[in-house]
Amino acid sequence: MDNLHTSTGLNIQNFAGSSEFSFIQQDITVPMDIAAERIYNLACPASPVHYQLDPVRTVKTSVLGTINVLEIARKYGSRILQASTSEVYGNPQVHPQPESYWGNVNPIGKRSCYDEGKRCAETLFYDYRRQFEVDIRVARIFNTYGPGMALQDGRVIGNFILQALSGEDITLYGDGSQTRCFCYVSDMVNGLMALMESDISQPVNLGNPVEISMGRLAEEIITLTDSSSAISYQPLPEDDPLRRKPNIALAESRLDWRPSVSLATGLAETIRYFKTLTEGE
């Protein structure tokens, strides 16, 4: 199910003919009735540009939408996994972030619609577990990238690659010293499926612990694309976390999961993907 708010449906074209696949175009804030054994709730725009465009709708997606899917899980006894986020840690004062950290989140800023919406979704998951014994899994997903991203994604990897490919200036926010850790999409999907089939009901961080500054990322992408782009320094957005890095000890020990795709390999694949997309335009 997808309302195609931030996508075009291109990513599911390969499955469209399969009898094992069906697609419902619907917004999850509209109640649904589907007998499911497993539910992965990944609904909600994750790019700051997209989720800040209509912040009230973002909160509704994470709160009303999550209630709707939890009601399905309660009714049919489904196991349900929530795609939570490293944003629950806000601008972290503990580094790297373990699952036990409660975070440092601004409740009234521009990112709050996403951060607090996702935090409330986690609250709902644990309340449905305590109150109705729903079988829950919660993944805290750190920055993830790879083929399949929207052209207009607006997050750093997509922006830098598109800018580098077209020779435009690279828009580096702040002084570029802020850090992130980037997990390749296939690693993330493996982690989500391993968590779903595990017996772990506490939140689990999923992400690649290799940390890189945005300045360094810009340089790497310029090199990999052999680009002539220059770097243009832009203001750092409000509440932009300065450092972020997952502690993945829990996923390593309980799921035997760790990322296997290096940033260089993942970026090369993603650059190839964006090239195909832009050439097809």
Q: What DSSP string describes 160-212?
A: HHHHHHHTPPEEEETTS--EEE-EEHHHHHHHHHHHHTS---SEEEES---EE
Q: Does 149 bind ligand UDP (CB under 6 A)?
A: no
Closest contact distance (angstroms) between CB of 100 and ligand UDP is 21
Closest contact distance (angstroms) between CB of 239 and ligand UDP is 9
Q: Does 178 bind ligand UDP (CB under 6 A)?
A: yes
Give the three-class secondary structure for 87: helix
Cα separation, 68 vs 65, whole angstroms: 5
Cα separation, 273 vs 258, whole angstroms: 24
For the chain, first and last CA: distance in Å? 27
Q: Does 156 bind ligand UDP (CB under 6 A)?
A: yes
Q: Does 90 bind ligand UDP (CB under 6 A)?
A: no
CB 240 within 8 A of CB 176: no
Q: Is the peptide bond between 98 and the residue preceding it cis, with omega within 30 degrees of 0? A: no
Nearer to ligand UDP, 195 or 218 (CB): 218
Closest contact distance (angstroms) between CB of 194 and ligand UDP is 23
Nearer to ligand UDP, 39 or 83 (CB): 83
Options 89, 114, 128, 145, the catalytic residue: 114
What are 209's two structure tokens?
Answer: 């612990």
> Total residues at the site for ligand UDP (CB under 6 A)?
14
Binding range to ligand UDP, per CB under 6 A, among 6-14, 68-76, 165-173, 222-230: 165-173
Binding range to ligand UDP, per CB under 6 A, among 21-29, 93-101, 151-159, 263-271: 151-159
80 DSSP β-pair partners: 39, 136
Closest contact distance (angstroms) between CB of 147 and ligand UDP is 16
The 222-251 site mask, x for binding ligand UDP (CB under 6 A), equals: --------------xx--x-----------
Q: Taking the alpha carbons of 219, 224, 226, 228 in that order, is the dihedral positive or negative?
A: negative
Nearer to ligand UDP, 172 or 194 (CB): 172
What are 254's two structure tokens?
Answer: 């309980």
Q: Does 172 bind ligand UDP (CB under 6 A)?
A: yes
Among 62, 46, 59, 44, residue whose Cα is nearest residue 3: 44
Cite the DSSP H helix spans in 54-170.
55-76, 112-132, 156-166
Q: Does 143 bind ligand UDP (CB under 6 A)?
A: yes
Binding range to ligand UDP, per CB under 6 A, among 62-70, 130-138, 168-176, 266-274: 168-176
Among 163, 156, 151, 160, residue whose Cα is nearest residue 178: 156
Tell which one of 62, 78, 159, 270 touches ligand UDP (CB under 6 A): 159
173 has catalytic annotation? no
Closest contact distance (angstroms) between CB of 114 and ligand UDP is 8
Among 132, 108, 20, 4, residue whose Cα is nearest residue 59: 108
Nearer to ligand UDP, 28 or 217 (CB): 217
Q: Which residues contribute to the site for ligand UDP (CB under 6 A)?
A: 48, 143, 155-156, 159, 171-173, 178, 180, 214, 236-237, 240
Q: Could you list the active site residues?
A: 114
